[in-house]
Structure 1
Amino acid sequence: MRRLIAVALAVVLLVAGCTRNSDGAADVQVGGDPGASPTLRFRAPLTVTEPSSTVVWAGTGSALVEGKPVLIDYWLENAETGAVVAESYTTSPKPYLLTKESLGTDLFAALRGQRVGARIVEVSPASAARGMTFPTVIVMDVLATRAEGDPVPARPGMPIVTLAADGAPTITPTTTTPPTDLTVVPLIKGTGDQVPTGAEVTIQYTEVDWATGAVVDSTWSTGLPVSFSLAGLGAWSQGLVEQTVGSQVMVVVPPSFGLGGPAGSELQSATLVFVVDILAATKPTAPVSPPVTIAPSTAPSSSPTS
């Protein structure tokens, strides 16, 4: 998406009061509530000669950290026609590292120093180098990359979870007998909407073996959240549906779900423990257009098949 998102002329912001860019070339109004798809109003065709960005509103959440993940929802329109080119609000937000290499120089500059919850608008001229034959207007919402909410008291007999400064969990095993049924243990209660059945979810997670505490898989090792559909994924669906966005939950999965792998797999008979940060959830509808992304989002490697 970095080729589509580069850049922008100063704008008139509906929510921030009316101002005009220095050469009077572009007027853009941005509406819409936090967490919802934005609405854009501008007189097309929009004349765009130079790139710049403007903060629609500042975020009040955690500060973005250079080199660490940033998660954004975006809405991209053709500045000549006002047509929607691509958007993520009906699918999944897109993760990047907050680096020039991942985002490109202009977007990196626009996001650096911002906080979770910020809404930023950029307008970019056409550029053959970026593969864009028309100028673009894009609105970006900065989302959290870790659970944010109220801690829930630990449940006796469950593995102990401690969090690093960036939110990455360490899971200490217990000597108690693991449950024989799938068990969901809330750790942090988020304030977002409930995850609906069949949702497209965006999460961070760490997976360990109940018996040894050995890490089987983790998004925190790569630093980027993943997105996938819960449709048909039994253990994931049972563990995450009706939880609230922003929550962190422990999902204990017995070997009967087959997440340890095929016959002969080292973990075939293992009880697995997932600590999951729920960052976003969208019940898929027909998107306005195919979403644009740099790094494709996939389900965890040990996702169930039923």
Structure 2
Amino acid sequence: MNSHILRTLSKSITLLSTLALGVSLTACGSPTNPTPSEKQTDTSESSNKGAALVGVTAEGQPGQKPTITFKTPFKVTDKSSVVLQEGDGENIKAGDRLCVRSIAISAKDGKELDSTWEKGEPDCQIVVDRKTYPAFYDKFLKMKVNGTIGIGIDDNTSADKKSNSYIMALTVVSKSKALTRATGKPVSDIPADLPKVTLNEHGKPSLHLNGYQPSGKLVAQPLIKGSGPAVKGTQSVSVQYTGWLASNGKQFDSSWDRGEPADFSLDGVVKGWKEGLTNQTVGSQVLIVIPPELGYGAQQQKEIPANSTLIFVVDILSAY
């Protein structure tokens, strides 16, 4: 989708995750002390109720690009929604990760603004969770794979202050059970000189430096080997992670502490992350040691001093 619609969709209904890695991962050319950005869940009464989107219909074969119709101009209630097609596949359940294709249609004149049906891979960032998607959670549970949900967006945040209203039609083309932590087999032949990792009952890692002395080279050592597909360098991933300074073992960031995984494109993070995760398998846990030249180099980043070697433990939950 084009960047404006993607930003608006993420801001308005939290259906597409923000790149929530902030200072520790974002590969900015000249970062200015970014901070971790968590998903913003709207827990207001209107959001939780989820107003009905009335007057919008869909035609076409389930699982194929639908034809969306409504009378124009259409008055949009922001975050309103309706199940347009139930679908003919498996029932959608709480905790499922959904892969969707989408269409954005102007409420003013009914013209198609953008579509992901003709390009790229489906977007697989949506995990069916009441906390994250209070306005749409119950409707997702009424659907099956190949079903379509219509969502009204009324965005007033554009630079010209004009309302940008449209209908989003999201078709669920596949689903999988969302992982919450690494689920593979523990790796037995881990080099003895690497930092030692222990996990609490929930899966969050703790680090003991074990006298580790960085070699100046990238290290990507699987600790748990998952049985899922290999991650491609062109993909996005959903992960749980914690990061420490190699100099003193101090933690500077953790998605575990924020209470939810982070989703990001491997093209949007520091080189050490992209190189360290490429070809690892979904379900794996990987210890990554990133030398300064593959991290932030001579630029200080809040709690990360200049020329720091960084250590991460990453659980790969999904790649898409």
Q: TM-score, normalised by structure 2?
A: 0.56
| Alignment-derived partner of residue 22 in structure 2 | none
For residues 104 and 201 of structure 1, the distance between their equivalents in structure 2, rounded to whole angstroms, comes to 24
| Alignment-derived partner of residue 121 in structure 1 | 147
For residues 224 and 238 of structure 1, the distance between their equivalents in structure 2, rounded to whole angstroms, comes to 20
Q: Which is richer in helix?
A: 2
Q: Contact 1:147–1:246 at 8 Å: present in 2 too?
A: yes
TM-aligned CA deviation for residue 152 of structure 1: 1.4
- CA pair 199-261 structure 1, distance change in 2 beyond 3 A: farther
| Alignment-derived partner of residue 121 in structure 2 | 90
| Alignment-derived partner of residue 229 in structure 2 | 193
Work out which of the residue numbers 268, 273, 283 in structure 1 matches 2:306: 268
Identity of paired residues, percent? 25
Local SS of the residue matching 2:194: coil
- Unmatched 5+ stretches in structure 2: 1-8, 16-49, 71-80, 156-163
| Alignment-derived partner of residue 134 in structure 2 | 104
- CA pair 262-76 structure 1, distance change in 2 beyond 3 A: closer
Listed one character per residue, the Cα deviations across residues 246-272 of structure 1 (whole Å, up to 9, x for unaligned) are: 322101123454536527986335432
| Alignment-derived partner of residue 163 in structure 1 | 199
Q: Contact 2:214–2:309 at 8 Å: present in 1 too?
A: yes
1:76 maps onto 2:108 in alignment: no
Listed one character per residue, the Cα deviations across residues 21-70 of structure 1 (whole Å, up to 9, x for unaligned) are: xxxx988754xxxxxxxx3276x5679x964867832589xx73xxxxx8
For residues 111 and 129 of structure 2, the distance between their equivalents in structure 1, rounded to whole angstroms, comes to 31
Q: Contact 2:252–2:304 at 8 Å: present in 1 too?
A: no
Local SS of the residue matching 1:56: coil
- CA pair 97-258 structure 1, distance change in 2 beyond 3 A: same
For residues 153 and 264 of structure 2, the distance between their equivalents in structure 1, rounded to whole angstroms, comes to 31
Q: Contact 1:219–1:225 at 8 Å: present in 2 too?
A: yes
1:175 partner amino acid: G
Local SS of the residue matching 2:272: helix
Listed one character per residue, the Cα deviations across residues 218-274 of structure 1 (whole Å, up to 9, x for unaligned) are: 222222313023489432233122222332210112345453652798633543211
Local SS of the residue matching 2:252: strand
Work out which of the residue numbers 64, 79, 98 in structure 2 matches 1:40: 64
TM-aligned CA deviation for residue 187 of structure 1: 1.2
- CA pair 230-132 structure 1, distance change in 2 beyond 3 A: closer
- CA pair 50-99 structure 1, distance change in 2 beyond 3 A: closer
For residues 287 and 265 of structure 2, the distance between their equivalents in structure 1, rounded to whole angstroms, comes to 18
- CA pair 136-241 structure 1, distance change in 2 beyond 3 A: closer
Aligned pairs for 1:224-263 within 5 A:
224-230=261-267, 233-259=270-296, 261-262=298-299
| Alignment-derived partner of residue 304 in structure 1 | none
Q: Which moved more, 1:245-254 or 1:135-144?
A: 135-144
1:152 maps onto 2:187 in alignment: yes
TM-aligned CA deviation for residue 157 of structure 1: 2.2
- Unmatched 5+ stretches in structure 1: 10-24, 31-38, 65-69, 283-306
1:214 partner amino acid: K
1:136 maps onto 2:174 in alignment: no
- CA pair 272-4 structure 1, distance change in 2 beyond 3 A: closer
Aligned pair count?
245
Q: Contact 2:154–2:166 at 8 Å: present in 1 too?
A: no
Q: TM-score, normalised by structure 1?
A: 0.58
- CA pair 136-169 structure 1, distance change in 2 beyond 3 A: same
